[in-house]
Chains A and B, each alone.
Chain A
Amino acid sequence: MLPGMMKWYSRRDFVRLSAAGVFAPTLSGWLPVLANAAPQGGKGKARACILLWMDGGPSHKDTFDPKPDSKGAGEFKPIATKVPGVYISEHLPKIAQTLDKGVIVRGMTTPEGAHPRAKYYMHTGYREGQGGIIHPSLGAIVSKEIGDPDSPMPNYVAINSRSYGAGFLGPRHQPLLITDPNRGVEDLKAAVSTQQLQRRLGLLERMERAFYREYDADIIRDHHTTYQRAFQLMSSRQAKAFDLSAEPPSSRSRYGSGRFADGVLMARRLVEVGVPFVEVTLGGWDTHQNNFERVKALSAQIDTPIAALITDLQERGLLDTTLVVWMGEFGRTPHINNRGPNPGRDHYPRAWSTVMWGGGIRAGGTVGKTDKEGATVIDRPVTAQDFLATICELLGIDHTRQNETPTGRPIRIVEKANPFTSLIT
């Protein structure tokens, strides 16, 4: 029996309900179905992934792949990191101190240069619209492959923006969307007192029982299950993870302030209670104009929270089992455009950077390399598929496995991938 269910009824009621056959099918019919699709557990060390999604496409040359001697070098100076010989932008000083626990992937190269299509591509590994299906995003894949189907908590949480959903994997793997981390899960609190809520649930249960007895349809059971799960979340201790006010002020201040910082903190709280995938979005990286002022401000927004997250995870013994990924949909042009007095950089998928920390990777280095201009990958090109497959491997997911669409068409989790896991573990 699911925890929390007894609260709805007296013991006598429950016995009567079981006899009426309301609960029996719920437990025997629903749980095994999910159990079949349950975690396979692979050899990867990581049990959770936090995706820090930099919406708009961050300029690689002004963040993690500085080219001070190139033509479009820009205004920023490189600084040394904890890893000898690896330099990043001067506006990411705290992150520079965490790179001994991370890897910069400088060989990213992808074919999509328009935001929506590139976002779809980097979330799913497939091109949008191909074959008339919607592919699941990474979070939905993780939810399905290693999520706990019995958890009262959702297995995929998206903070600030949902980006892409479960596609053909269906609504069970849709992200729970948190639009404002300070407000947590909306409508989580009952509108009435606990006693009144219990009376209401009692009335509801009576109605459900009668309806199910007469109509005997699976969907009535599913409705019941969803309400139980919602009620479980309302009364579960883990749901506290959505409440940032429960975080001690000292550790909260460590993350800095702002929506992104709050989201990163919530991600840590969620991973701590077992949520396997959390995506936190920070928008504003589409810097066609005024690139340097904006990237400097954005860097300030990410530097403190990301560094705090890495340190915090390590202090809590979670870094080894938590993979943190920083990425956007593409990089930005190596040259600076001439749009007005405050120019910027345009979309550039041909060569760009992402970063990974934790999750059992052997840290402190780079994968791939761009040329002097930051324009072309000259060593170990990494495709979207290579990158996603590597994340899967670190999480113990077999990326060559096929999932079936509702029409029975098999689709590989990642297709044609050449992961670089062996280079970083």
Chain B
Amino acid sequence: MRYRGVVIAALIAGLVVWLGSQEPVGAQAVLQKKSKKANKKEVAETVLHVKDPTPPAAPAQPLPTVVPAPTVKDPAALARLIDAEVDRRLAQAQIRPSPRSDDAEFLRRVYLDLTGVIPTADKARAFLESTDPNKREKLIDELLADPNHGRRMADIWTAKLFPFDSANRFVPKEPFHAWLAEQFNKNTPWNQLVTELITATGTADENPAVIYFLANRTIDRLTDTTTQHFLGVQLQCAQCHNHPFSSWKQIEYWGFAAFYSKVRADNPKNPKQVPDAPAPGVRELPSRSKQKDFFPEATKIVAPTFLGGPEAKVHPTEPYRPVLARWMTAPDNPFFARAMVNRLWAHLFARGLVMPVDDMLEENVPTHPELLDALARHMATVGGFDQKYLLKAICLSQAYQRTSRPLPENKQDETLYSHMRVKVMTPEQLYDSLAQVVGRAAASGAAGKAAKKAAGRLGGQNARAQFVNFFLAGAEQPSITSYEAGIPQALRLMNASLTNNPALVRSLVGSMATPPAVAIERLYLATLSRRPTATELNDLTAYVRMNGDPATAYSDILWALLNSSEFTMVR
């Protein structure tokens, strides 16, 4: 943000010819197309240069106090820094924080946050019974090393980097997801991972990272996703007009977009229609791409320019993308480390230190500016953009480990982390957690045909994708802060065989001669990862006694547990 203000009025005046034009629609578009084509040649040769950028303007507000970050990689020290800053703000606001979560609450939360799935009943029981004072830290380490961690992070990032789009019908999603999962499991530093993505070349088979380009095949899409997801900046409105309520200008948009102007992405074609299509992949051309449909009608031709910064010193025949990657991931880049910190923070707390998470404008003031600065500086230097390290530090903090039960006096607080926020499971988390309950049942010897059938609905490569699509119901991204599943989704959970399967109960409870208290505890541990409270145990034992047939009673209890908001939420 240090160079904001560098927008040059003269330049904009020079661009009026194009900036003023609006996209024609309907019949006019058809009529105008011809004359536009004739114009394009002239436009393409007029490259605008930013000359003599004015020096950066002095910041309007005094810089926030600098909070010293640890000088070495030390998750416990980083957690203390987080707590010091969070507690300082709470004290200032005179808000009393909620107490620490109990073991069961922490267990289910950290499992879902880090691996996307609830623990098995056995794992839950073992953790609850353990008296090891370091068991929380050990669990965090165990979960970050679990292959499910990479899958969870890949779920999150695939949804952002691989948009639902009719143009993506034939673009392979699974290899991209697998590539991301592998990177997250290997803990490839974030700067390196992003560099590999945005400079990717080759065929999709040899380098699945290029699928990022195949799934965002036009220059405006690439510009939007890159700035939004890696830099925390929303530029897309500036594509067509100067942003009315932020300071991004259209020229900045096209200056950034220019880094992608030499990309050629050959998409997979429908093999029925184009049997001899080139292998899908990405190349960097020596000059501006001539690819059909790559540039939208509204394209402006501007030299590659760093966002909020100077024009890039890059020779026209040199590849552009590595220059962009070097600038983006440099330790002193004003956006990159902050965006990474803000994302991971939001991933665990369901809100960023800046909101919206991907729109870190000056106007959107961080709740904890000093903390954000310190974390970003630390991660860009000694922290080495190490994501597992930052996740561990946050999970170790008291702020993360607080209960999500609010106190009367902190109930209204939504920004200072006085209590944890209850999140809604993503469709992937819900699927994997249901599969954990149902799938294990099917695997166990006690399972009958019906259990296998129910599990079959949750098995197979496509089943997960289908379930996720069904629960997304057309939304682009799952929302973890609001409950958005609709009637069809509720009907499926209520009435489909998935949750109505007598054999499932037998496999979870064991013999029907099991004492009700033990049986009920097994059902609770398998679904809610906790033991029932005394009241619940009393109530439900009475329910089982009242009901002649224990199997029916347990199936009712299991049905209610799987349909409860506690199951579908991360408390």
Interface residues of A (CB under 8 A from B): 109-111, 115-117, 119-120, 127-134, 154, 162, 165-166, 170-172, 174-177, 185-192, 196, 199-200, 203-204, 206-208, 210-212, 214-220, 222-224, 226-227, 229-231, 233-234, 350, 377, 381, 383-386, 407-409, 415-416
15 further A-B contacts with Cβ under 8 Å, apart from A110-B26, A200-B556, are: A132-B239, A165-B473, A165-B474, A171-B473, A171-B474, A174-B474, A187-B496, A203-B557, A207-B561, A207-B564, A220-B483, A350-B30, A383-B25, A383-B27, A384-B26
List A contacts of B492 (CB < 8 A). Answer: 186-187
Point out the residue from B26, B236, B491, B568 that lies within 8 Å of A383, measured CB to CB: B26
Interface status of B404 (Cβ within 8 A of chain A): yes
Point out the residue from B296, B356, B539, B556 that lies within 8 Å of A407, measured CB to CB: B356
Stretch at the interface among B216-224, B280-288, B433-441: B216-224
| A-B contacts, 5 listed (Cβ < 8 Å) | A132-B236, A186-B488, A207-B560, A210-B536, A416-B25
Interface centre among A162, A175, A407 (most CB of B within 10 A): A407
Interface status of B422 (Cβ within 8 A of chain A): yes
Within the assembled complex, what's the spacing in Å between the Cα atoms of A217 and B552? 32
Residue of B nearest to A199 (CB): B556
Residue of A nearest to B243 (CB): A409
Asked whether B563 lies within 8 Å of A204 as measured between CB atoms, the reply is yes
Residue of B nearest to A409 (CB): B237
Asked whether A203 lies within 8 Å of B543 as measured between CB atoms, the reply is yes
Interface status of B424 (Cβ within 8 A of chain A): yes
Asked whether A214 lies within 8 Å of B556 as measured between CB atoms, the reply is no
Q: How many A-B contacts at CB < 8 Å in the complex?
A: 183
Within the assembled complex, what's the spacing in Å between the Cα atoms of A360 and B568? 47
Within the assembled complex, what's the spacing in Å between the Cα atoms of A128 and B293? 13
Q: Distance (Å) between the CB of B427 and the closest chain A CB?
A: 12
Asked whether B424 lies within 8 Å of A219 as measured between CB atoms, the reply is yes
Point out the residue from B26, B166, B483, B563 that lies within 8 Å of A386, measured CB to CB: B26
Point out the residue from A133, A215, A234 that lies within 8 Å of B404, measured CB to CB: A215
Within the assembled complex, what's the spacing in Å between the Cα atoms of A22 and B38? 67
Asked whether B565 lies within 8 Å of A220 as measured between CB atoms, the reply is yes
Asked whether B556 lies within 8 Å of A226 as measured between CB atoms, the reply is no
Q: Distance (Å) between the CB of A238 and the closest chain B CB?
A: 13
Within the assembled complex, what's the spacing in Å between the Cα atoms of A196 and B552? 9
Interface centre among A165, A210, A220, A385 (most CB of B within 10 A): A220
Asked whether A177 lies within 8 Å of B488 as measured between CB atoms, the reply is yes
Asked whether B487 lies within 8 Å of A229 as measured between CB atoms, the reply is yes
Interface status of B500 (Cβ within 8 A of chain A): yes
Q: Distance (Å) between the CB of A366 and the closest chain B CB?
A: 17
Interface status of B411 (Cβ within 8 A of chain A): yes
Within the assembled complex, what's the spacing in Å between the Cα atoms of A123 and B401? 47
List B contacts of A199 (CB < 8 A). Answer: 556
Q: Distance (Å) between the CB of B497 and the closest chain A CB?
A: 7
Point out the residue from B489, B497, B536, B564 that lies within 8 Å of A191, measured CB to CB: B497
Asked whether A131 lies within 8 Å of B236 as measured between CB atoms, the reply is yes
Asked whether B424 lies within 8 Å of A111 as measured between CB atoms, the reply is no
List B contacts of A384 (CB < 8 A). Answer: 25-26
Asked whether A171 lies within 8 Å of B565 as measured between CB atoms, the reply is no
Asked whether A176 lies within 8 Å of B237 as measured between CB atoms, the reply is no
Within 310-351 of B, Cβ neighbours of A (below 8 Å) are at none
Within the assembled complex, what's the spacing in Å between the Cα atoms of A169 and B494? 26
Residue of B nearest to A418 (CB): B26
List B contacts of A208 (CB < 8 A). Answer: 564-565
List A contacts of B571 (CB < 8 A). Answer: 215
List B contacts of A154 (CB < 8 A). Answer: 487
Asked whether A226 lies within 8 Å of B487 as measured between CB atoms, the reply is yes
Interface status of B14 (Cβ within 8 A of chain A): no
List B contacts of A407 (CB < 8 A). Answer: 234, 356, 359
Q: Distance (Å) between the CB of B60 and the closest chain A CB?
A: 23
Within the assembled complex, what's the spacing in Å between the Cα atoms of A407 and B243? 13
Within the assembled complex, what's the spacing in Å between the Cα atoms of A191 and B498? 10
List B contacts of A212 (CB < 8 A). Answer: 565
List A contacts of B568 (CB < 8 A). Answer: 223
List A contacts of B487 (CB < 8 A). Answer: 154, 176, 226, 229-230, 233
Asked whether B26 lies within 8 Å of A223 as measured between CB atoms, the reply is no
Given A215-B422, A226-B485, A407-B234: A117 touches B166 (CB 8 Å cut-off)? yes
Asked whether A385 lies within 8 Å of B483 as measured between CB atoms, the reply is no
Q: Distance (Å) between the CB of A242 and the closest chain B CB?
A: 12
Asked whether A215 lies within 8 Å of B405 as measured between CB atoms, the reply is yes
List B contacts of A234 (CB < 8 A). Answer: 491, 495
Asked whether A216 lies within 8 Å of B476 as measured between CB atoms, the reply is no
Within the assembled complex, what's the spacing in Å between the Cα atoms of A129 and B540? 52
When each residue 492-510 of chain B gets 1 if its CB lies under 8 Å from chain A and 0 otherwise, what string results?
1011110010000000000
When each residue 4-32 of chain B gets 1 if its CB lies under 8 Å from chain A and 0 otherwise, what string results?
00000000000000000001011101100
Within the assembled complex, what's the spacing in Å between the Cα atoms of A284 and B543? 55
Given A187-B496, A189-B495: A220 touches B25 (CB 8 Å cut-off)? no
The 9 closest A-B pairs by CB, nearest first: A116-B166, A383-B26, A165-B474, A132-B236, A230-B490, A191-B500, A222-B483, A203-B560, A223-B565
Asked whether A109 lies within 8 Å of B26 as measured between CB atoms, the reply is yes
Residue of A nearest to B475 (CB): A171
Point out the residue from A129, A188, A204 that lies within 8 Å of B564, measured CB to CB: A204
Asked whether B25 lies within 8 Å of A111 as measured between CB atoms, the reply is yes
Residue of A nearest to B423 (CB): A219
Residue of B nearest to A225 (CB): B483
Interface status of B481 (Cβ within 8 A of chain A): yes
Interface status of B142 (Cβ within 8 A of chain A): no
Q: Distance (Å) between the CB of A402 and the closest chain B CB?
A: 13
Within the assembled complex, what's the spacing in Å between the Cα atoms of A186 and B308? 52
Interface status of B566 (Cβ within 8 A of chain A): yes
Within the assembled complex, what's the spacing in Å between the Cα atoms of A175 and B479? 18
Asked whether A222 lies within 8 Å of B25 as measured between CB atoms, the reply is no
List B contacts of A120 (CB < 8 A). Answer: 166
Q: Distance (Å) between the CB of B241 and the closest chain A CB?
A: 10
List B contacts of A185 (CB < 8 A). Answer: 488, 491
Asked whether B422 lies within 8 Å of A111 as measured between CB atoms, the reply is no
Point out the residue from A128, A132, A162, A383 that lies within 8 Å of B474, measured CB to CB: A162
Interface status of B165 (Cβ within 8 A of chain A): yes
Within the assembled complex, what's the spacing in Å between the Cα atoms of A227 and B359? 34
Asked whether B482 lies within 8 Å of A220 as measured between CB atoms, the reply is no
Within the assembled complex, what's the spacing in Å between the Cα atoms of A177 and B486? 12
List B contacts of A218 (CB < 8 A). Answer: 482
Interface centre among A171, A172, A176 (most CB of B within 10 A): A171
Within 452-487 of B, Cβ neighbours of A (below 8 Å) are at 473-476, 481-487
Within the assembled complex, what's the spacing in Å between the Cα atoms of A223 and B430? 14
Q: Distance (Å) between the CB of B494 and the closest chain A CB?
A: 6
List A contacts of B218 (CB < 8 A). Answer: 129
Asked whether A171 lies within 8 Å of B166 as measured between CB atoms, the reply is no
Interface centre among B27, B167, B489, B496 (most CB of A within 10 A): B27
Asked whether A166 lies within 8 Å of B494 as measured between CB atoms, the reply is no
Q: Distance (Å) between the CB of B358 and the closest chain A CB?
A: 9
Asked whether B563 lies within 8 Å of A227 as measured between CB atoms, the reply is yes
Interface status of B559 (Cβ within 8 A of chain A): yes
List A contacts of B475 (CB < 8 A). Answer: 170-171, 174
Within the assembled complex, what's the spacing in Å between the Cα atoms of A383 and B24? 11
Interface status of B240 (Cβ within 8 A of chain A): yes
Asked whether A381 lies within 8 Å of B27 as measured between CB atoms, the reply is yes
Asked whether B220 lies within 8 Å of A129 as measured between CB atoms, the reply is yes
Within the assembled complex, what's the spacing in Å between the Cα atoms of A221 and B404? 16
Point out the residue from B30, B166, B495 that lies within 8 Å of A109, measured CB to CB: B30
Within the assembled complex, what's the spacing in Å between the Cα atoms of A192 and B555? 11
List A contacts of B495 (CB < 8 A). Answer: 187-191, 234
Within the assembled complex, what's the spacing in Å between the Cα atoms of A215 and B388? 29
Interface status of B569 (Cβ within 8 A of chain A): yes
Within the assembled complex, what's the spacing in Å between the Cα atoms of A272 and B262? 56
Within the assembled complex, what's the spacing in Å between the Cα atoms of A109 and B533? 66
Asked whether A207 lies within 8 Å of B566 as measured between CB atoms, the reply is yes
Within 519-571 of B, Cβ neighbours of A (below 8 Å) are at 533, 535-536, 539-540, 543, 552, 556-557, 559-561, 563-566, 568-569, 571
List A contacts of B560 (CB < 8 A). Answer: 200, 203-204, 207
Q: Distance (Å) between the CB of A159 and the closest chain B CB?
A: 14
Residue of B nearest to A350 (CB): B30
